[in-house]
Amino acid sequence: MQRVVAEEPDVQSVICVDGGMQPLPISGRYHDFVRKGSGLIQRDFGEPAYRMDVSERIDQGNSWQLPVYLAHYLSAEGMLGDGEPQPGDKVLWSTGALKADRSVLPVEEVFNKLTLSAELFGKLKDNQVPCLVLVPAQDESALVRWQESVEGPPDGLQTSVADLDGAVRLLKDFLELKDSSPMQPAPVDNAGGTEPSLLREPYLPPPGMLSESVPALGPERETECHSPLTTGNASQTYKKAWSAWPWAGLAVLMLAGGGVAGWSWMQASMPPPRLVIEVAQAPGDCGRQNVLEQALLPMDGVFPEVGLNRLCALWMEVPPEVSTVVGVSLDNGALVPVNFNIDRWRISLPNQRFRDREYALLVAKETLLDANLSALSSELGRHPWDAEHLTAAGLLELAKKQGIDAEVYTQKLIYRKMSYRDF
């Protein structure tokens, strides 16, 4: 972690590498993680948009959420370093996903992440730089296994946390110590002493580990409209999400393409997803206090039609068996980005809303490879859009040819011409 800077409120939050100008694919999720309503950062630290610079790419998953939150905390306190440990600094190594209720959720590959950080920990130990290691409480067994596998862990404290408040308390205690022993920091008398300069470096997996970061979705949400289809331990029920798609630049991708007439929907092999729509009470008025939410279920693979005029947001909630969501718009085959946000997918709405729009969703249990989706996109590019409307059955056939085993759901977004009475 290199720096966190507040931005103007009318821009989206972004994550970039080394001060560069190209936002990382994870930026869409980071924006949702920041903004009030869906995320935690604006609610706790006040600003609606931020730019964060990191030393390595982050392409997918949610294991960055705990370290990023703690980096915001340190930045707000004026104690965030630049990612290069110096004498007198302290380092924070952490991994974990977060839920809206501030609980810390488990993530995969914790043991491997710790093991692959051996060089970093060795340098910190050699330079007597204390390090606080934080992992989710449900991943404590991986932490213990790692501690037992190494000859000497870094100086400092290695522990697990169940919620954000506990993580912040541990971090505060760690920062107040002048010295730290491997597992049991000793109390410090601060009289007459000066606080050392502080470096916080939330964990960024080595490049080879980035594709292993996994979104950890929590148990059921409390609001009726958003409760997921199933419940259970997140680390057991949720699998890998689709890695960054080159065109959309997002963690999960929707493609766009064809109608629903002339096909026969087959019985699904898993519980159907559902859509949650946010609708403004007046056109263009999408402020949180003026938005109504409604959950939609599919009938024979088709979601109910929705009006475009007052549509503010479109979310998709999927059962835990789902690893990948891909979509194809039934108009022209253009890609439609989807952001993963805590425990559901946000479908980007069309910029132009002056005509009806149709799209299909491919929902798959398996994690799809780049080659599968690249081949599917090529097939869609060869489709004669001007002469032939792609049906859901046709899309499913194209997907199967590319080795994609998925179920198809469709929806139509309706444009209604407005008059002065609508305003």
Domain at 89, CATH number: 3.30.230
Task: Tell me the one-letter amino acid at 208.
Answer: G
Mean pLDDT of 139-167: 89
Q: How confident is the model at residue 56 (pLDDT cuts 50, 70, 90)?
A: confident
Same domain for 119 and 266: no
pLDDT at 240: 25
Q: Going by C-beta distance under 8 Å and a sequence separation of 6 or more, which residues neighbour residue 380?
A: 255, 257, 328, 333, 390, 398
DSSP string over 300-316: TTBPPPEESTTEEEEEE
Tokens, residue 250: 């997002």
Indicate if the pLDDT at residue 418 is higher than 60: no
Report the alpha-carbon distance of residue 248 to residue 340 in Å, rounded. 13
C-beta contacts of 117-121 below 8 A and 24+ residues apart? 117/93, 117/203, 117/206, 118/150, 120/93, 121/93, 121/150, 121/153, 121/154
Residue 420 binned pLDDT confidence (cut-offs 50, 70, 90): very low
66, two tokens: 């705990």
Q: Can you tell me the mean pLDDT for 260-267?
A: 38
Residues 403 and 262 in one domain: yes
What is the predicted pLDDT for the residue at 386?
67
- Predicted pLDDT at 65: 93
| Residue 187 shares a structural domain with residue 247 | no
66 contacts 159 by C-beta, under 8 angstroms: no
Tell me how long the chain is.
423
Pairing type for strands 311-317 and 406-414 reads unpaired
Which residues is 313 bridged to in the sheet?
A: 278
Mean pLDDT for the stretch of residues 198-207: 33
pLDDT(350) > 70: yes
> pLDDT tens digits for 301-325?
899 999 888 888 888 998 888 888 8
Q: Give the whole-angstrom CA distance, residue 79 versus residue 175.
A: 10
Q: Is residue 223 part of a domain?
A: no
Q: Which helix (H) or strand (E) holds 97?
A: strand 97-98
pLDDT at residue number 257: 27
- Confidence label for 269 from pLDDT (cuts 50, 70 and 90): low
Q: Is 222 inside a domain boundary?
A: no
* Domain boundary pick from 194, 212, 230: 212
* 84-116 per-residue burial string, b: 16 or more CB within 10 A, e: under 16: ebeeebbbbbbbbbbbbebbbbbbbbbbbbbbe
Kindly tell me if the per-residue pLDDT of 267 is higher than 80: no
Q: pLDDT over 90 for what percent of the chain?
A: 19
Q: Do 311 and 204 have their domain in common?
A: no
Q: Is residue 196 in some structural domain?
A: yes
Cβ atoms of residues 4 and 54 within 8 Å: no
Separation of alpha carbons 97 and 107, rounded Å: 7
The answer for residues whose C-beta is within 8 angstroms of residue 54's C-beta and 6 or more apart is 1, 2, 15, 16, 17, 18, 24, 83, 204
Q: CA distances (Å), 145 to each of 92, 139, 183, 215, in order?
A: 20, 10, 15, 22
Neighbours of 176 (CB within 10 A): 12
- The two structure tokens encoding residue 180: 């730290």
pTM above 0.95, yes or no: no
- The verdict on 207 and 285 lying in the same domain is no
> Looking at the domain assignment, is residue 77 inside a domain?
yes
Separation CA 108–CA 209 (nearest Å): 11
Mean pLDDT of the region 13-30: 88
Q: Is 420 helix (H, G, I), strand (E, B) or coil?
A: helix
Cβ atoms 326, 364 nearer than 8 A: yes
| Average pLDDT for 281-290 | 70
The reply to whether 220 falls in a domain is: no
71 and 203, same domain (yes or no) = yes
Name residues whose C-beta falls within 8 Å of residue 256's C-beta, 6 or more positions apart in sequence.
327, 328, 329, 330, 331, 332, 333, 334, 335, 336, 359
Residue 82 has pLDDT above 90, yes or no: no
Q: Is 365 exposed, middle or buried (0-12, 13-18, 19+ CB in 10 A)?
A: middle
Specify if 227 maps to a domain: no
pLDDT at 180 over 60: no
Out of 72-76, 249-253, 320-324, 419-423, least confident range: 249-253
Q: Which two tokens stand for residue 94?
A: 């952490």
The verdict on 38 and 170 lying in the same domain is yes
> Do 181 and 253 sit in the same domain of this protein?
no
**195 and 243: one domain?**
no
Q: How many domains does the chain have?
A: 2
Cα 67 to chain center, whole Å? 13
> Who wins on pLDDT, 238 or 266?
266
What is the percent of the chain where pLDDT is above 70?
73
Determine, yes or no, domain membership for 296: yes
Residue 406 CA to residue 408 CA, distance in Å, equals 7
Comparing 199 with 299, which gets the higher pLDDT?
Answer: 299
Tell me: do 286 and 190 sit in the same domain.
Answer: no
Mean pLDDT for all residues in the chain? 73
89-127 per-position pLDDT tens digit = 889 999 999 998 899 999 988 999 999 888 888 888 888
Facing residues of 132 across strands? 92, 157
CB-based contact 305:356 (threshold 8 Å): no
Burial class of 140 by CB neighbour count within 10 A (0 to 12, 13 to 18, 19+): middle
pLDDT tier for residue 402 given thresholds of 50, 70 and 90: confident
Answer whether residue 170 is part of any domain.
yes
69-82: average pLDDT: 86
**Are both 205 and 244 inside the same structural domain?**
no
pLDDT tops 80 at residue 185: no
Same domain, 117 and 181: yes
* Residue 34 pLDDT greater than 90, yes or no: yes
Q: Give the bridge partners for 51, in sequence order.
A: 5, 14
Range of the domain at 358: 239-422
pLDDT at 228: 26
> pLDDT band at residue 71, thresholds of 50, 70 and 90?
very high
